[in-house]
Amino acid sequence: MTYPRPTTQHCLTAILSLFSLLSTAQVTPALVDFDAYEKLVSEVKQHRQSRLLNAEEFAKASKEKNVIILDTRSDAMYAAVHIKGAIHLNFSDFTQDNLKKIIPSPECRILIYCNNNFVSTPLPASPTTELKDYTRYFATKSFRPEPKALPQQTSGSSFRNTKDTGYPENAKPITLALNIPTYINLYGYGYRNIYELSELVNTYDSKLEFEGTAVDPVHRKPR
């Protein structure tokens, strides 16, 4: 029995296939374990339920011994405005060594908050000119589904003059608060004495005191 002689194209295809297999075998997987993280999230969900503090509880706890307030927002936003007494470590800089430098021990009580804990609604006696500045320092992290409009119908076009949102009417925004990954990662790094500010606080209220380059030290309001 005779077999057809392989063509140059057949040889080239075989060589490329072999090279692809060898390349794949040599790839070192990234240090990413989604399954382990998913398991961690499940543990944190249960742990977090009893660790949520309103503003008054948060303020009271912040004055106790062996307690730190941790702000994991960006360097710029922390520098501008943060809760008085908070220490800073950007979330992207979380490592076991960096956390050890700012947290004395795993038993230390850690209070966390993020942008999504604050709104800026001037009180009756507050000048409205201050609203804009304060809002930008605590920009809410959320995704609000928006309608996607199809192009207007033109002559010879099959497009319809309508809207296709891709989302249900009045779809609820998805909050992407930094508190969640901060809590999860602290827990993953071995810290269990974590408490989270759960209340939406008006920055013009007096429940919490602020400091930073954009805050008037007398009135505790943004310049």
CA distance 116 to 202: 11
Quick one: DSSP state of residue 174? E
Which pLDDT does position 206 carry in this prediction? 73
Q: Residue by residue, what is the 3-state secondary structure of 67-122?
A: EEEEECCCHHHHHHCEECCCEECCHHHCCHHHHHHHCCCCCCEEEEECHHHEECCC
CA distance 113 to 93: 17
Whether 141 and 175 have beta carbons less than 8 Å apart is answered as yes
Domain ranges of the chain: 47-141+176-211
Q: One digit per residue, pLDDT tens: the chain, 223 residues? A: 555 666 666 666 666 666 666 555 688 889 999 999 999 999 999 999 999 999 999 999 999 999 999 999 999 999 999 999 999 999 999 999 999 999 989 999 999 999 999 988 776 665 554 444 477 888 888 887 766 554 554 455 444 444 454 555 667 788 899 999 999 999 999 999 999 999 999 887 778 999 999 887 655 555 5
Which pLDDT does position 87 carry in this prediction? 98
Question: What pTM, to 2 d.p., does this model score?
Answer: 0.75
Fold classification of 47-141+176-211 is Oxidized Rhodanese; domain 1 (3.40.250)
